[in-house]
Amino acid sequence: MIITRRTGLKSLGAAALWTSLTPNFALANAQTDRRFLFIFLRGGMDGLSAVPAYGEPNFKALRGELADGNPGEGTRFDMLKLDGLFALNPDLKAMHGLFHSGELTVVHAACHGYRDRSHFDAQDAFDRGTIDKAVKTGWLNRTLVSLPTEWKTGRDNCAMGLGPTLPLSLRGDAQVGSWSPPSAPNASPDTLERLAALYKRDGKLGPVLEKGLSASAMGNAMGDMGMEGKGFGSAVAFIEYAHAAATFLNSKDGPRLVTIDYGNWDSHSDQNGRSVPGPNNGNYAGRFPEFYLGLDRGIAALKGGLEPEVWAKTAIVMVTEFGRTVRINGTRGTDHGTGGAAFLLGGAVKGGRVLADWPGLKDGDLLDGRDLKPTTDLRALAKGVLREHLAVADATLEVVFPGSEAVKPLEGLIKT
């Protein structure tokens, strides 16, 4: 599938039928210049594979063939050392560099407020910001609603979801945009104009299509989005969306809040993909090494694609809905668990640290005898970033994360 770059709408100005794209260059001030990127690794990334606790005496016994050797020993799973207890997955080389340059913080033994190990409930709870299913809007949308108007005015899309569907986290009262690479030739402006009249009477679909057209026009105006698509696979897609996110976030009057979903992290079997001989140079075609590589290359694309002054104002939160079982299961993988790893990175981040109230991995330390015990609530991470990076008021944080009064924001996450 070759994705051709859209050029038509730009010159024809068809999007102007829907909305004004008049840029406002008088906007920039310290606060509205901040960029926030939220990356959701859906499917339950194995936190002890992303950030192995190699210094734990029984770590290797619990993880079996998923964790042989120590950092630097050149084994198949050759971890990248962070400190005396933790390392990074061998494929996270760029992220390892960011850790040591003080631009990446690891949060470990962390989980959201949800405990029942269903992917879909856990993801929804994260996206809503609460386990309360009566709440129908997303935490990022409620954040947007609360932000001061100067944050939103003059921007056609102050927030955007990258991908063909809008994640629940961004759904709600505030209108947000979404974007994915163009796939069909441009329609004639005359036909679009006639169609616009029909959509105007549809209270639900009208505003939705309007947002789509304006995002598309913004994509055109910025030219090459680095999305000369090359096939399937969420790892490839993630790298491409990371390129696109950098382009959108670099734009002066572009979005300030962007989300990317990176899915398919559910690793019940053959997690390292290196244990069964077969094709691919003797390695069975497991997808998890490739997934970590995709993650790392996507992060490298962001760091490389964002202009240095934009990178300096950027905070990226990267989470998953839950960690996985501490012990390897019967099929060289891991099952749904609880505590896991999360990342905070970017030029605005006070990094180079692992934030963990480490619960240990001895039998009595595990939640229900099987999972890494969560000791940090990921809402504390999100609240801390919203407060320090976007100056969201404490009272608003309770609207964004209802019923989370007891979850105090983490402090000292962002450079002052």
The nearer residue to another protein, 371 or 388, going by C-beta atoms, is: 371
Residue 311 three-state SS? helix
Q: Is 211 one of the binding residues for another protein (CB under 8 A)?
A: yes
Place of tokens 């008049």: 22
Q: Which residues contact 57 (CB under 8 A, 6 or more apart)?
A: none
Q: Is 375 one of the binding residues for another protein (CB under 8 A)?
A: no
Token pair in block for residue 91: 């494929």
**Segments in 101-166 forming alpha helices (H):** 119-128, 139-146, 149-152
The nearer residue to another protein, 28 or 208, going by C-beta atoms, is: 208
Q: Is 336 one of the binding residues for another protein (CB under 8 A)?
A: yes
Q: Is 179 one of the binding residues for another protein (CB under 8 A)?
A: yes
β-pairing, 104-111 vs 340-345, is antiparallel
DSSP-derived secondary structure letter, 14 = G
With contact defined as beta carbons under 8 Å apart, do 326 and 267 qualify? Answer: no
The nearer residue to another protein, 92 or 168, going by C-beta atoms, is: 168
Residue type present at position 41? L
Binders in 213-242 for another protein, by CB under 8 A: 213, 215-216
The nearer residue to another protein, 71 or 286, going by C-beta atoms, is: 286
d(CA 141, CA 121): 19
Piece in contact with another protein (CB under 8 A), picked from 19-27, 87-95, 156-164, 239-247: 156-164
Q: How many residues does the chain have?
A: 416
Tell me how far, at minimum, the Cβ of 187 lies from another protein, in Å.
4
The nearer residue to another protein, 44 or 47, going by C-beta atoms, is: 44
The nearer residue to another protein, 26 or 197, going by C-beta atoms, is: 197
The nearer residue to another protein, 103 or 371, going by C-beta atoms, is: 371
Distance of CA 215 to the CA centre of its chain: 20
Q: Is 166 one of the binding residues for another protein (CB under 8 A)?
A: yes
Nearest to 166 by CA among 186, 137, 134: 137
Tell me how far, at minimum, the Cβ of 377 lies from another protein, in Å.
21
d(CA 333, CA 29): 48
Residue type present at position 263? G
The nearer residue to another protein, 240 or 388, going by C-beta atoms, is: 240
End-to-end CA distance of the chain: 45
Piece in contact with another protein (CB under 8 A), picked from 19-27, 111-119, 240-248, 309-317: 111-119
Tell me how far, at minimum, the Cβ of 120 lies from another protein, in Å.
5
Binding another protein (rule: CB under 8 A), the pick from 54, 86, 151, 199 is: 199
Binders in 258-277 for another protein, by CB under 8 A: 263-264, 266, 268-269, 276-277
d(CA 282, CA 383): 46
Q: Is 161 one of the binding residues for another protein (CB under 8 A)?
A: yes
Place of tokens 């260059």: 25
Cα distances from 43 to residues 111, 238, 239, 341, in angstroms, run 14, 14, 18, 13
Piece in contact with another protein (CB under 8 A), picked from 97-105, 161-169, 295-303, 382-390: 161-169
Tell me how far, at minimum, the Cβ of 201 lies from another protein, in Å.
7
Token pair in block for residue 149: 């108007």
Q: Which residues contact 21 (CB under 8 A, 6 or more apart)?
A: 15, 156, 214, 217, 218, 221
Tell me how far, at minimum, the Cβ of 90 lies from another protein, in Å.
23
Binding another protein (rule: CB under 8 A), the pick from 121, 290, 365, 398 is: 121
Q: Is 374 one of the binding residues for another protein (CB under 8 A)?
A: no
Rounded to the nearest 10 degrees, the angle between the axes of helix 93-100 and helix 288-305 is: 50
Contacting residues toward another protein, per CB under 8 A: 1, 42-43, 116-121, 161, 163-166, 168, 171, 176-188, 190-192, 194-195, 197-199, 201-202, 204-206, 208-213, 215-216, 263-264, 266, 268-269, 276-279, 284-285, 329-333, 335-336, 368
